[in-house]
Amino acid sequence: MRPFSYLRAKSPAEAAALAAQVEGARFIAGGTNLLDLMKLDIETPTHLIDVNGLALDRIEATPEGGLKIGALVRNTDLAADARVRKDYALLSRALLAGASGQLRNRATTAGNLLQRTRCPYFYDTNQPCNKRVPGSGCSAIGGFSRPLGILGVSDACIATHPSDMAVAMRALDAQVETVRPDGTTRTIAIADFHRLPGNTPNIETALAVNELITAVTLPPPLGGTHIYQKVRDRASYAFALISVGAVIQRDGSGRVALGGVAHKPWRVEAAEAAMSKGAMAVSEQLLAGAKTTEQNAFKLTLVERTLASVIAQARVQA
């Protein structure tokens, strides 16, 4: 691990301002992803700004009837919150499908959204990777691609976003609140927060340099049946080959978002109009434009079958 300096911020605005003063600064909270990447020499920050003491660890009701989730709320606490379990069960179930209990005890809401891909070539510093070293090439294209992306991919990158929580947030239409180094704040729709790779897969989110996430807000509850189904190679502590997060109403209408297939949680709102017609009709639109390899083409069938299972479960539970 390379040497770095360390400082604790006293407020979100101060944290963002301090980050702007030192080139190569990074924010750290739970550190469940960043520290691993530092040990592997993939992330090399010169300065760490600890944001754990910023009172961003609360879950509060909003005037509109939704929830405001502080950026530092731990995944365990968020999944266990009575309001989340009752009104946003998709989010609770997605969180519990991720990582291990020990990691969920440390991982934060903001950190979960910002975690980096688990593409094996990203983690192998002996292999070219445009996400790690822009312009170096993508070893996954023509290499081992079984767990990698089939939607929104580019000639520069076919990595996937690993977060289960983000899939639920996308289905629930969450909003990400931030503060910038000049003290101004803004709100970013979760649909616009994660970027597709294009020619710059190293730029993963809509955040500006040194912009700090302060909260994620959820709109009023949707009702309906909430299901998160994750298909993986191991029964636990494994990332999704594909996952389906859905909220389905009694009349068969609903929302669906996919994980494990793209550089961001994948949702096509136009496809949801076909929910009452069944999984095949929805999948045709969800998977339109898919670009597969010989190794990951199975994901097309897996998405349709998993969605069919989710729809069937929703009918039974309803």
Instruction: Determine contact, residues 283/304, Cβ cutoff 8 Å.
Output: yes
What residue type is 257 in one-letter code? A
Residue 79 has pLDDT above 90, yes or no: yes
179: tokens are: 């503060």
Residue 83 binned pLDDT confidence (cut-offs 50, 70, 90): very high
Residue with tokens 């069937």: 312
The three-class DSSP label of residue 171 is helix
Q: pLDDT higher for 260 or 276?
A: 260
Q: Could you tell me if residue 154 is left (phi over 0), alpha (psi between -120 and 50 degrees) or otherwise beta?
A: beta
181: tokens are: 């180094």
Choose among 144, 146, 116: nearest CA to 132.
116
Choose among 231, 285, 224: nearest CA to 255.
224
290: tokens are: 């898919």
Burial class (CB in 10 A: 0-12, 13-18, 19+), 196: middle
Between CA 124 and CA 248 the distance in angstroms is 40
pLDDT digits (tens, 9 = 90+) for 187-235: 999 999 999 999 999 999 999 999 999 999 999 999 999 999 999 999 8
Average pLDDT score over residue span 92-111: 96
Burial class (CB in 10 A: 0-12, 13-18, 19+), 221: middle
Between CA 227 and CA 230 the distance in angstroms is 10
State the pLDDT at residue 236.
Answer: 87
State the pLDDT at residue 270.
Answer: 97
Handedness of CA 271, 258, 229, 82 (dihedral sign): negative
Helices 298-317 and 279-286, axial angle in degrees (round to 10): 140
State the pLDDT at residue 76.
Answer: 98
Bridge partners (DSSP) of residue 229 are: 244
